[in-house]
Structure 1
Amino acid sequence: MKNLFIISALFASMLATSQIEVNTSIDHVTVYREGAVVVRTADVNLTNGTNVIQLKDLPNGLQSNTIQFDVANGIRIIKFDYRYLTPEEVDLFDLTDLGAQVVAIEEKITAERDLQVSLAEDLEFIRSNADLGDFGSTQNLQATDEYMQQRRRELRSAIRESERRLEALQVEGQKVRGEMALRESEMGQPESIIELEVASDRARTTAIQFSYLSKTAKWTPYYNVRATGMNDPLTFEMIGQIVQNSGEDWEDVTLHLSTGNPNLSAVEPELPVWRLGGGNYYVPSGQTESSGIDVPRHGSFQGFVTDSKTGKPLPFARVELKQGDETRILVSDEKGEVRMDNLPTGSYSLLANNAGYRDLNVSITVSNTPNLTRIKMGSSLESMNSSIEVITGGTPAQYGDAHGRAGDRRDILQNYRRGYGDFQGGNSWQTYFVPRYQPTTTLYTINEKYSVASDGRPIDVIVNQQSREAELFARIRPALSENAYIIARMTEWESLNLQKANMLFYVDGAYLGARFVDPSFTTDTLSLALGVDPEISFRRERINAMTSTRTFARSTFERFQYEIVVRNTRPDAIEVVVEDQRPISNHEEVGVRDLSAEGAEMNPDTGIITWRRQLPPNEEWKMKFEFTVTYPTSQPGVNLPR
């Protein structure tokens, strides 16, 4: 009776626990400056009581301590376990039938080869005995000769038919082997799941949401700063460059970009007692910035498998790529092409085999640069060896098919840092993002969905566009540079919420340069050098170089006179600021005196001389300044222009 009670209780417990397998999909991804949090959802039908849910479609290598769940009221999480499926749980493909097909095809191939040997022996027998024997009359000889010729034709025809059947059998056998190779490759890939045990207070259909952290992802901001006219507002286009290699592609998902860092600890450090003396090693030091994360970039393998003699594509050839303990199996298609993306860069051992051809075993390198690998296989019946040819930066479409015919040449490299010159300004940009300011970070929600492949290649996402009134002028420092620079000066720029980033500057659609901007070191007025203005020309000349020096008993007197000429070749007027300088003396024996700088502002502490003027189009502006320097004759090493 006691055993019967235990069995009944165990049976009731099994009935109360429901096991469910569900597929999951990515709902959205929050990408941080270092790392990303992926949020997945799954719709499940729960029974009343305990349910064990197997959540599938996950990348391998998740960190269990970063997995979090969000379930509805009335559902209690009991436990969860992230693990790989055991061989008993994996629905492995049965290769028995495919193996039997290969054996049957091999038997047919053996039979055809035996038939060819027999036909060749008959043909040789007829050839050897054609001139033997006594055929009697001429009529008998003629009849025998006709028979021999007819028989030779039949045998040669039978041999050709057998060769065609043999070739077809080899292709069929290679096709079955190719299918076996693909199945074998699939079987070699581990599959991970999250096994979640929950208790529900009633039967229901509900959604379960869970998230996990991927450390091999990040985003980096940069700005396209545009000025379309000297009197128009300055436009800041914020671009987020996203890169990830998490092991799963983010396909058509909603993206959030956060300025935070999910890897930071919330534990505040404590200050220990700073004791001096032997055996004490603590020394307080300032904070150090994170060196950032390195997202490994993947490459791709593209190849052509061909006959080394004829150039004919070889379909269904098996190609193995081995790196370390991991082997990837590929099979060429009907065009002889073979391809695999998302391969870690580095050296691989390539093994190619095909029925009727010599095996090829070589080393190749997978890099970030696309390469086309021609795998030329030599027939096992010929002396020509198998070989390999790597064409850097190529694809089958660029370098033609297996016979060398040129295909359409296309540029396969993507320009990830576009200037977005084709976009038109307007309020429509504002719909791309929704910023949410949190206590320590800013979160940007990108309303347009994007796809980001797990290959370490960056993609650009439009975050926002904001415009601010700015004062644009041209600044010239002729003593240091031969170029005039367009300067944008803005007040009340803090509402832009600028991030530390590179800025790419465009004026009237032309790219003028780039620089890194850190807004934390900016004053109340933000000044940005947008780049060189080629439409402002100028020259600076010393006009008294030959007669400027006079020497007395103990002192030398030098007089410096300079002329600066600026011309505006723009079609409109522009404010021009010219900055030059005269020296400042740090010695009592060296004296500097200003003589003239008409129309300029003088800063006596720095020696900076500044002229400002609204310069009309096609107009020239001349300015002069003059100063004298007196120094001891015994000190000729004063750093003055010579």
Structure 2
Amino acid sequence: AVKQRVLLKQIQKLQQELKQIQSSRPRQRYEAVVDVTVSSPGSFTPTLTYMVQRAQWQPLYDVRLVENAGSRLIKLAQLAQISQQTGEDWQGVQMTVSTARPALNQRMPEIHPWFVDAYVPPPPMPQPAPMRKSAARLMRAEAAPEMEVGAAAMAADAYMEEADADVVMATVQADDISVSFELPGGIDIPSDGSPRKVTIGESELEPKLDFVTIPRHTDAVYRRVTVVNNTEAPLLAGAVSLFVDEVFIGSNRLEYVPGGADIELLFGVEERIKVERELSRRDVDKRFLRDKRQLRYGYEIKLHNLLGQPAALVVKDQLPVSRHEEISVKLTEANPAPAEQSDLNILEWKLSLAAGAKTTISYEYMVEHPRQLQVTGLLD
């Protein structure tokens, strides 16, 4: 153990010295020779364009639901997080980030022959020369610390502290092939891989807010916001940070949203709308003269709006779905009737509940099957 600690300290010291040497070594430089033919004397400013590796960016979003005196607004901030490890710091550069990926379009992949053959076992390995146990034990003891030290050094080398990112403003350009975001002024991006955040754009969108609950699984009522993407460009897939006013409520992921399409986001749980689901009926037909067995179930879903303003509610529940031709499931009563019932027996009610109001949804369904048939899946 003492020898391992000594070796680990030596390796860490050597790695630190190596990093200092690498950071202080002279940078590689390239020269470009340009042949120019002009028809008359004059001056011009050449522009040299070249590709570099290990530079990347990813879209991020801050979406804020602002509520004020009964009115609601969505504030959408589009961000680009940029980092690079090209070996040279970018100082005061004019930058454009784009969704175009030129490296993927340089060459089409080739198809090579795909062979199958009979398996031929490999020749037997030669037996190692005999070794005395003490020597073998010594070799294993010396090798183990080296492996452990190496793993620790790799883990330490892989760790990188992420620096805070700055924010600036940008403008957007879109065409049929890609989306590009032009960043104003000079941008500084260090070559250590630390991220820099750039605000691509900010928009204010009119939201449609409703509240969704699935009381069979939870008594939570979720805020659901739907807005139309009327920004200048499509919204690329990326991480979303969600806020209600100034309160951070969580993160999600936004998939690609073209211009004019709907964006649907959940903004946490609304505690001021109460929901309760109760079993109100469970009957079994006990008449033995019938060759069919009938089970009847009834449920009540009670809702109470304590928001202080009207609320649009979507309530979802479900009936069992038969996977056997002799088992039938039927909705026999519902008050009010559901707005939708899917092929998989998902029920959906759409209600408008006034401030302080209470309401109850009640429904019943029947399961019928041959008396001798054993049925699984009836959980209640």
State if a TM-score over 0.5 links the two structures.
Answer: yes
Q: Give the C-alpha shift of residue 460 in structure 1.
A: 1.5
What is aligned with 2:170?
433
Rounded to whole Å, the distance in 2 between the matches of 1:532 and 1:186 is 50
8 A contact 2:172–2:232 mirrored in 1: no
What is aligned with 1:517?
254
Q: CA, structure 1 residues 191+521, in 2 after alignment: closer, same or farther (shift >3 Å)?
A: closer
What is aligned with 1:85?
none
Q: CA, structure 1 residues 439+526, in 2 after alignment: closer, same or farther (shift >3 Å)?
A: closer
**TM-score, normalisation: structure 1:** 0.44
Q: Give the C-alpha shift of residue 473 in structure 1.
A: 0.4
What is aligned with 1:241?
81
Q: 2:29 aligns with which of 169, 187, 192?
A: 192
Rounded to whole Å, the distance in 1 between the matches of 2:216 and 2:231 is 33
Q: 1:210 aligns with which of 12, 33, 48?
A: 48
Rounded to whole Å, the distance in 2 between the matches of 1:217 and 1:480 is 45
8 A contact 1:471–1:490 mirrored in 2: yes
Matched AA of 1:490: V
Matched AA of 2:362: K
Within a 5 Å distance, the mapping from 1:422-501 to structure 2 comes to 432-491=169-228, 496-501=233-238
Larger Rg: 1
Where in structure 2 are there 5+ consecutive unaligned residues? 1-20, 116-151
Q: CA, structure 1 residues 522+213, in 2 after alignment: closer, same or farther (shift >3 Å)?
A: closer
Q: 2:90 aligns with which of 243, 247, 250?
A: 250
Rounded to whole Å, the distance in 2 between the matches of 1:575 and 1:186 is 61
Q: 1:539 aligns with which of 264, 273, 276?
A: 276
CA deviations on 1:422-455 (whole Å, 9 max, x unpaired) are xxxxxxx9xx332222341111112254321111
Q: CA, structure 1 residues 520+466, in 2 after alignment: closer, same or farther (shift >3 Å)?
A: closer
Matched AA of 1:574: A
8 A contact 2:231–2:259 mirrored in 1: no
Q: CA, structure 1 residues 369+191, in 2 after alignment: closer, same or farther (shift >3 Å)?
A: closer
Rounded to whole Å, the distance in 2 between the matches of 1:261 and 1:588 is 53
Q: 2:320 aligns with which of 583, 588, 596?
A: 583
Rounded to whole Å, the distance in 2 between the matches of 1:471 and 1:501 is 22
Q: Give the C-alpha shift of residue 602 in structure 1.
A: 4.1
Q: CA, structure 1 residues 494+266, in 2 after alignment: closer, same or farther (shift >3 Å)?
A: farther
Where in structure 1 are there 5+ consecutive unaligned residues? 1-183, 273-278, 283-345, 349-363, 371-412, 421-428
Within a 5 Å distance, the mapping from 1:20-169 to structure 2 comes to none
What is aligned with 1:261?
101
Partner secondary structure for residue 192 of structure 1:
coil
Q: Give the C-alpha shift of residue 217 in structure 1.
A: 0.6
8 A contact 1:233–1:468 mirrored in 2: yes
Rounded to whole Å, the distance in 2 between the matches of 1:538 and 1:514 is 25
Q: CA, structure 1 residues 204+193, in 2 after alignment: closer, same or farther (shift >3 Å)?
A: farther
Q: CA, structure 1 residues 493+630, in 2 after alignment: closer, same or farther (shift >3 Å)?
A: farther
Within a 5 Å distance, the mapping from 1:325-336 to structure 2 comes to none
* 2:360 counterpart of 1:569: no
Q: Give the C-alpha shift of residue 242 in structure 1.
A: 0.8
Higher relative contact order structure (alpha carbons within 8 Å, sequence separation ≥ 6)? 2
8 A contact 2:92–2:185 mirrored in 1: no
Percent identical among aligned pairs is 20
CA deviations on 1:158-179 (whole Å, 9 max, x unpaired) are xxxxxxxxxxxxxxxxxxxxxx
Partner secondary structure for residue 209 of structure 1:
coil
Q: CA, structure 1 residues 494+551, in 2 after alignment: closer, same or farther (shift >3 Å)?
A: farther
Q: Give the C-alpha shift of residue 266 in structure 1.
A: 5.4
Q: 1:605 aligns with which of 309, 330, 343?
A: 343
CA deviations on 1:199-220 (whole Å, 9 max, x unpaired) are 5657766433212211101000
* 2:59 counterpart of 1:221: yes
Within a 5 Å distance, the mapping from 1:365-384 to structure 2 comes to 365-366=156-157, 368=159
Rounded to whole Å, the distance in 2 between the matches of 1:210 and 1:200 is 17
Within a 5 Å distance, the mapping from 1:308-327 to structure 2 comes to none
Rounded to whole Å, the distance in 1 between the matches of 2:32 and 2:231 is 48
Q: CA, structure 1 residues 199+414, in 2 after alignment: closer, same or farther (shift >3 Å)?
A: closer
* 2:340 counterpart of 1:549: no
8 A contact 1:225–1:504 mirrored in 2: yes
Rounded to whole Å, the distance in 1 between the matches of 2:207 and 2:23 is 59
